[in-house]
Structure 1
Amino acid sequence: MAVTPVMSKTATLGDATANSGTSAADLMNNFMTLLVAQMKNQDPTNPMDNNQMTSQLAQFNTASGVEQLNDTLNNVGTLVSSMQQMNAASWVGRKVMIAGTPVIDNASSRAAFSLESDADQVEVTLTDKEGNAWRAELHNVKAGVHHVSLDELSDFQPSDPPTDATYSLSFAATNSSGDAPGIVALKEAKVDSVAFSSSGSVLQLGIDGSATLGQVYEIE
């Protein structure tokens, strides 16, 4: 016989419905109150089915366990978020690499790019303020963040670029198979301050705007 509410005991049911909460604990309390009422008023010739009662109790215990686990995970998430914010505060004054167009103004200046997967060739293009372009190639480049400078590049086409000019850099990656691995040009920015919001920490980068922690490719 299924465990069902008995409506003849209005006072008992009134106690059960007084707590209208929806948490697992509230539902369990209501269920137990109704179960006691059912047991008091059951037909002795047709008693309750113990298997069904046990099954329903097991379901409530499972719901209570899931609710407690969710509460624990929420607390852990809050703690992790707080630790990330405290860690981000230590970045003030340091340099980070974010997506953007890198600019170099002398032979030793460095630019960077992030490669999603290994590439047979990465073409590096330098463009000056007048729109003149020079191209060099890097070969057998592994996935990850790479830094380059004019001193480290060679065999420019159509000729070697002047070393006293300012250039913006762009990158393109290819493989002999014809596919093009993803590549992102990176620019350097300095962390002036860190702002905290409900969605996480935001690095304030002065003239370079702002960036979330997930937008930082490298910190120096």
Structure 2
Amino acid sequence: MSVNATSLFGSAATTGTDNRKNKDLGQADFLRLMTEQLKNQDPLKPLASNEFLGQLAQFSTVQGIQSLNGAFSALAAAVEGDQALKAAALVGQQVQVESDRFQLGAEGGLAAAIDVPGAGKVTVEILDASGAVVHRSETLANGAGTLDIEWDGTLADGSRAPAGEYRIAARVSAGASTVALAPLLEARVDSVSLSPSGLQLNLAGVGAVPLSAVHRIGASPRT
């Protein structure tokens, strides 16, 4: 009777998992199964040397992949832990992230910036949850650069805008060409969260954003 060590290896691994949880079939077990294969092989059809070496190679490959996976898992955990420690230092700091939505509270307003690609008229609008424009400003940009935007949260009649979610839209017009611009909002980091998708910064008035969305750390210098 011919016995295949690879088959025995898989069968024994399954049995070992059922009877002894968290205990993997190791190298000594595999060698024992290989010895049993040699003892029980058909004398008229002995195991060919290339088949024997192939089974050994399969075991070595599996062992190598398992070790590599373990090493990568440990490395990923170490990197995530290092990022979490660094991100924790951002709590309480001002950061700048790309977002067009923000929450207006009972006090305060909006601080943002826009990267203008060239000269033209820059129009910035603040829209409420229904899409109505509650504030509009226009500025002439002389060339490419960063334009700072501030809104104190008041309406045209001087009254305070209701607290809630608002959206900011910006565009630059030059001649017949109009290009939409992505606002960069400034907000305080309240906390840091670990999620399956990676590190998330919880920003006051903005919400959760990935760490990779941060364009700048620290408040923008304003005149």
TM range, smaller chain: 0.5 to 0.7
Residues 142-164 of structure 1 deviation map (CA, whole Å, 9 limit, x = unaligned): xxxx63148xxxxxxxxxxxxxx
What secondary structure, in the 3-state scheme, does the structure 2 residue paired with 1:26 have?
coil
- The residue type equivalent to 1:204 in the other structure is N
Map residues 1-220 of structure 1 onto 2, 5 A cutoff.
4=4, 16=12, 19-21=15-17, 26=25, 31-98=30-97, 99-100=99-100, 111-113=112-114, 119=117, 124-127=122-125, 131-137=135-141, 139=143, 141=144, 147-149=146-148, 170-172=169-171, 183-191=181-189, 193-199=190-196, 200-220=198-218
Q: CA deviation at 1:40?
A: 1.3
Distance in 2, matches of 1:174 and 1:3, equals 79
- Taking every aligned residue pair, what percent have the same amino acid on both sides? 25
Distance in 2, matches of 1:134 and 1:70, equals 56
Q: CA deviation at 1:96?
A: 0.6
Gap runs ≥5 in structure 1: 6-11, 104-108, 151-167
Q: Which moved more, 1:69-78 or 1:129-138?
A: 129-138
Contact 1:190 1:206 in 2 (8 A): yes
What secondary structure, in the 3-state scheme, does the structure 1 residue paired with 2:64 have?
helix
What secondary structure, in the 3-state scheme, does the structure 2 residue paired with 1:207 have?
coil
Distance in 2, matches of 1:147 and 1:42, equals 79
Q: CA deviation at 1:53?
A: 0.8
Q: CA deviation at 1:100?
A: 2.8
Gap runs ≥5 in structure 2: 105-109, 127-132, 150-166, 219-223
Q: CA deviation at 1:35?
A: 2.1
Distance in 2, matches of 1:212 and 1:218, equals 13
Distance in 2, matches of 1:174 and 1:52, equals 74
Distance in 2, matches of 1:148 and 1:81, equals 35
Identify the structure with the greater strand proportion.
2
TM-score when normalising by structure 2? 0.59
Distance in 1, matches of 2:139 and 2:72, equals 52
TM-score when normalising by structure 1? 0.60
What secondary structure, in the 3-state scheme, does the structure 2 residue paired with 1:91 have?
coil
- The residue type equivalent to 2:89 in the other structure is S
Distance in 1, matches of 2:195 and 2:134, equals 45
Q: Size of the alignment, in residue pairs? A: 180
What secondary structure, in the 3-state scheme, does the structure 1 residue paired with 2:32 have?
helix
Distance in 2, matches of 1:35 and 1:174, equals 77
Question: In the superposition, relative to structure 1, how do residues 17 and 147 fare at CA in structure 2: closer, same or farther (>3 Å)?
Answer: closer
RMSD of equivalent CA atoms: 4.4
Q: CA deviation at 1:185?
A: 0.7
In the alignment, which residue of structure 1 is the partner of 2:152? Answer: none
